[in-house]
Amino acid sequence: MSATSVQPPRDDQPETPGGGSATLAEIARAAGVSAPTVSKVLNGRGDVAPATRSRVEELLRRHGYQRRRGSVQPAPLIDLVFHELESSWAMEVIRGVENVARQESLNVVLSESAGRLSPGQTWVDGVLARRPTGVILVLSGLDPAQRAQLTSRDIPFVVLDPAGDPGEDVPAIGAANWQGGLAATRHLLELGHRRIGVIGGPGGMMCSRARIDGYRAALETAGVAYEADLVRSGDFHHEAGYTAGLALLGRPDRPTAVFTGNDLQALGLYEAARELGLRIPQDVSVVGFDDLPLARWISPPLTTVRQPLTEMAEAAARLVLDLARGRQPSTLRVDLATRLVERASSAPPRAGAEGPAGE
């Protein structure tokens, strides 16, 4: 597909059903409007009265109308929607999508759902009007009405979901979070640590739940008791790692190692350790999650679980293009492997390292 092949959708063209059961003419009859009006709704045109539009959308949904593949040439665009555009985490994802887009002469349309879990209706209207080749949603999903709107226009979507809970029938690329938590904790156990703290991500995120379950599995298979007291949580930002770090490391019986929910939390923990006069790794070992570029650059360089964000984004882009081209993938959900990257922030515990800060 070349960047010059855009053909604006025409609104006077009869359409035939794909997976659905009704033709465009039948939808029009049921709605009491003309076929071109239904077509305008399908193409996200603004010149349809809101009430008519909702009536048509409702009928499209109820009849499971699906535009025939190939009846309209999509624009050479991939829509990429983030829950929030923060930190180099998002940059790793953008780079992956951009890599595939460039190879395929597509461009990437970037949106932020501004903290909402689903993008707003304005975004959906924009998507219907610009008819991208596909949509990639990062850590956010679509509500049922939005899904129906994309499906009826034959616009495929994939969830890039390291959080791990997109629903079974949604095409998704994720990461092996549980294995990552297991590997991080086993590494610390093998170094000789027995009191290992953990900081989770936001409560609702399944990725965080999976990592902590991996942590727990590593402890219990090693015969080390799981202590709820050593488990903290917060969001995925620096500040949460700092706060949880002060709480964990300020205890008289502080842990000798901490597995943090991600690299930014690890940075916050570094700061907390510094304030408490604790050295990394001599007084406390730290293992992060993600392996952002900065993990190599901080002091000491961070031992962390690599989540291949760029490769995951590339896989999501290839999957959505496959769907757009009518190739059905053998499986709708793929989790890419995570792996431990050992650097200087983890070491065996010193004899007697447990105990009050600054002892």
Residues that bind a copy of itself (CB under 8 A): 2-6, 8-9, 44-46, 75-77, 79-80, 85-88, 90-91, 94-95, 98, 102, 105, 107-112, 114, 122-123, 125-126, 129-130, 238, 264, 267-268, 270-271, 274, 293-294, 296-299
Smallest distance from a copy of itself to CB 317, Å: 13
CB of 127 to a copy of itself, least distance (A): 9
Which of 45, 63 has the CB closer to a copy of itself? Answer: 45
Residue whose CB is less far from a copy of itself, 23 or 71: 71
- Residue type at 290 in one-letter notation: D
CA distances from 4 to 43, 71, 98, 105, 326 (A): 20, 18, 18, 9, 21
Q: Give the nearest distance from C-beta 111 to a copy of itself in angstroms.
A: 6
Q: Which of 149, 219, 156, 158 is nearest to 184 (CA)?
A: 219
89 vs 178, which CB is nearer to a copy of itself? 89
Cβ distance to a copy of itself smaller for residue 123 or 178: 123
Tell the smallest beta-carbon distance from residue 71 to a copy of itself (Å).
Answer: 16
User: Omega before 74 cis (within 30°)?
Assistant: no
Least spacing, CB of residue 37 vs a copy of itself, in Å: 15
CB of 124 to a copy of itself, least distance (A): 9
Q: Which is nearer to a copy of itself, 46 or 223 (CB)?
A: 46
CA 82 – CA 99 distance, rounded (Å): 17
Q: Which residues touch 326 (CB under 8 Å, ≥6 apart)? A: 69
Structure-block tokens of residue 249: 């490391």
Residues in contact with 176: Cβ distance below 8 Å, sequence separation at least 6, in sequence order: 335, 336, 337, 338
Q: Scan for tokens 């890419």, then name that residue.
A: 336
Instruction: Provide DSSP, 19-88.
Output: SSS--HHHHHHHHTS-HHHHHHHHTT-S-S-HHHHHHHHHHHHHTT--BPTTSSPPEEEEEEEES---HH
| Minimum distance from residue 299 beta carbon to a copy of itself (Å) | 5
Measured from the CB atom, the residue of 112 and 354 that comes closer to a copy of itself is 112
Closer Cβ to a copy of itself, 82 or 215, answer by number: 82
- According to DSSP, the residues that pair with 233 across neighbouring strands are 200
Least spacing, CB of residue 357 vs a copy of itself, in Å: 17
- Looking at the Cβ atoms of 176 and 298, the one nearer to a copy of itself is 298
User: Measured from the CB atom, is 250 or 301 closer to a copy of itself?
Assistant: 301
Which tokens hold the place of 198? Answer: 């953990």
CA angle in degrees (0–180, nearest 5) for 56-58-59: 65
What is the residue whose two structure tokens read 């997976």? 19
Tokens standing for 298? 């901080």
With beta carbons less than 8 A apart as the criterion, state whether 82 and 90 touch.
yes
- Identity of the residue, 178 or 236, whose beta carbon is nearer to a copy of itself in the bound complex: 236
Shortest separation between residue 5's beta carbon and a copy of itself, angstroms: 5
Min CB(293)–a copy of itself separation in Å: 7
Hey, CA dihedral for 266, 215, 200, 194, is it positive or negative?
negative
**What's the length of the chain?**
359
